[in-house]
Amino acid sequence: MRQAREIVIAPIITEKTSSIQNHNNSYTFRVSINANKIEIRKAIEKIFNVHVLDVNTIRQFGKVKRMGRYSGKRADWKKAIVKLKEGDSIAEFEA
């Protein structure tokens, strides 16, 4: 079993995620690419001491970027949109 901090990498704070947070009580996190929904749910509940109702995951593929004649690829990553129980919130997003 992996540690909770290995599964949840960082919060994603943008205008779009802020509007989702205000309307649906949902928070967005960058998570480990190998994590599944059950592991993500348990990690969020353990780290932030909240009750998770639903987890949606999205696999983001890295773009191919060029620098002159050299090309490379950004890393693939995964994000999770976590819906919390009514009345629960995460203080780190409120700042």
Which domains, ranges and CATH numbers included, belong to the chain?
A: 4-86 (3.30.70.330)
Residue 33 is predicted with a pLDDT of 96
CA distance 62 to 22: 29
Q: How sure is the predictor about 91, in pLDDT bands with cuts at 50, 70 and 90?
A: confident
Q: What is the pLDDT of residues 41-90, one digit of tens each?
A: 999 999 999 999 999 999 999 999 999 999 999 999 999 999 999 999 88
Distance from C-alpha of 70 to C-alpha of 84, rounded to nearest angstrom: 44
- Specify the pLDDT at position 28: 96
Q: DSSP 3-state assignment of 82?
A: strand
Of 44, 64, 63, whose CA–CA distance to 54 is shortest?
A: 44
Rounded distance between C-alpha atoms, residue 91 and residue 53, angstroms:
18
**Spatial CA neighbour of 73 closest among 84, 63, 60:** 63
Whether pLDDT at 1 is above 90: no
95 pLDDT tier (thresholds 50, 70, 90): low
